[in-house]
Amino acid sequence: MIGRLVVASLRRRPGRSALLLAGYALGVSVTVTLLSIGGALVEQSRDRELVGGGDLIVLPEGLDLETFRTGGTSSLYFRVDQAGFLYREVLGGARYADDIRAIAPWIEDELVYLRTGDRTIPASASGEIPSAARALGAAPEVVAGEWTDGPADRAWMAPGDSVLYAGLDAFHAPGAADSTWAEWHYFNVSLPGGGLYLTYMVAGDQPGGRWGGRLLVTWDDGGVERAFDLRLPSDAVRFSPGRADLELGGSYVRIRADGSYELEARIGAAGGAPLRLDLVIRAARRRYLPPVAVGGRTLTSGYVAPLLDARAEGSICAGTRCRDVRAAPAYHDHNWGVWRDVTWDWGQLSTADGFSLLYGGVSRDGTPLGTRFAFLFDERGFLRVLPVVSLGVDWSGTGDNAVPTSLALIAGRGADTVRVAAVVVAVRGTPGASGAPGRREDVFYQMRADASLRGRIGGEVIETGGRGSFETWRHTRR
């Protein structure tokens, strides 16, 4: 009977019947979809590996998501490298201020061990920053007590300059006894018609007790170059791993309470005029490259650049010849590691219209280790990190008389590319034996150059330039 009524209705009212069937099918499909979504939400609510509240989750590179969620062994010990830099300078920087409302760091289900007496108990631990989790809308319900930010939380999210630079610039303990271990503060100050290079160094086999300090100063005073080199025994050196301050006899580098760097250098006369240097260097803009390992698996080598765009104030004197330093462009980095058979290419440029470029790469025994990278900042902070595609140096002269005259760098990925063309205006070559006898001699070149920076990033054209500093090496057979 029902079948006959259906057939009769279709014959007499086919349009209406088709419309009713379509509506019925649509209702069923919507119901199925809603049930599926509800089932997924219920499933996710039972999954303790999922954290929520945001639109984007940043996870460690190379992570197997399914293994991570199910707790396999390959999910152990993963971390987001440079999480503080990502939080403060990238996601929380000025570039995305109109797009990102809240950011929250999260540690979920971390394996820890609790010891009580002779017992060791494995446990699962999680960590959040209360104010950040609340801003993200993902804070847990507190049923008793208080859940507020502690001093460490606040220092991680928004460290003052002194805390930030002291952490970036901290010295390291050598991993093993090695006579080629060295760690140093390097400062570069651009002066009218010249420049100033300063290196405060600790070097040698520290565990073996065969180490000391070294202070190197090169002052190009309008074409008149003065070089100073002071070596000190270990008992005249004061530093501690985990701290940034360094004392070399009567000379030192200190970080003040306001985050500025106080530099003093005293080198007595040894057949020449004594050096007296007093400088204060402070950031013009908070721009920094966080600590990175640049040597790969076969080499312990680290690098951090706390001050990419800074200004120097003070004075420098050699004998009776003195110069006041006022608002001079300055740069600072910090290196550490084992330097046997090691050379590098490096350069930095800051322009008057707000761009900063830094590139570098390490070679061992003449062979590059890993990819060279270029880091670019603009008036809104961190912009891009790009692999260096090519780096070429032009030379004038031959043999021991060869000197670099210009260099060209290209860095890019996809549609983003930058080109640096630099013409050398001043150069200093320093012979140094980083190779074994009979193999080669390395000559280290420090250059100041007029450089142009051109390219296209994110569809926007870059065309600027300024005075930059560059370093390279030349290898000659003995």
User: What are 434-473's pLDDT values in tens digits?
Assistant: 443 334 568 899 999 999 999 999 999 999 999 999 999 9
Residues 196 and 223: beta-carbon distance below 8 Å: no
**What does the alpha-carbon distance between residue 469 and residue 245 come to, in Å, rounded to a whole number?**
25
Q: How many CB atoms lie within 10 A of CB 379?
A: 12
pLDDT at 125: 84
**What does the alpha-carbon distance between residue 296 and residue 431 come to, in Å, rounded to a whole number?**
26
Q: In this structure, which CATH number among 2.40.370.10, 3.60.21.10, 3.40.50.460, 3.40.50.300 belongs to the domain 341-478? A: 2.40.370.10
pLDDT beneath 50, residues of the chain: 44-46, 48, 72-74, 433-439, 478
SS3 per-residue string spanning 289-338? EEEEECCCCCCCEEEEEEEEEEEEEEEEEECCEEEEEEEEEEEEEEEEEE
The domain ranges of the chain are 65-141+148-158, 160-339, 341-478
pLDDT at 474: 86
The pair phi, psi for residue 47, each rounded to 5°, is: -90, 105
Q: List the beta bridge partners of residue 424.
A: 449
Can you tell me which residue has the tokens 């061992």? 364
Residues 36 and 91: beta-carbon distance below 8 Å: no
In 3D, which of 167, 164, 169, 162 has the Cα closest to residue 336?
169
Same fold, 160-339 and 341-478: yes
Residues 351 and 359: beta-carbon distance below 8 Å: no
Asked if the 160-339 domain carries CATH number 2.40.370.10, the reply is yes
Condensed to tens digits (0 to 9), the pLDDT of residues 314-329 reads 999 998 889 999 999 9
**What does the alpha-carbon distance between residue 115 and residue 285 come to, in Å, rounded to a whole number?**
46
pLDDT at 439: 45
**What does the alpha-carbon distance between residue 129 and residue 87 come to, in Å, rounded to a whole number?**
12
Residues 343 and 335: beta-carbon distance below 8 Å: no
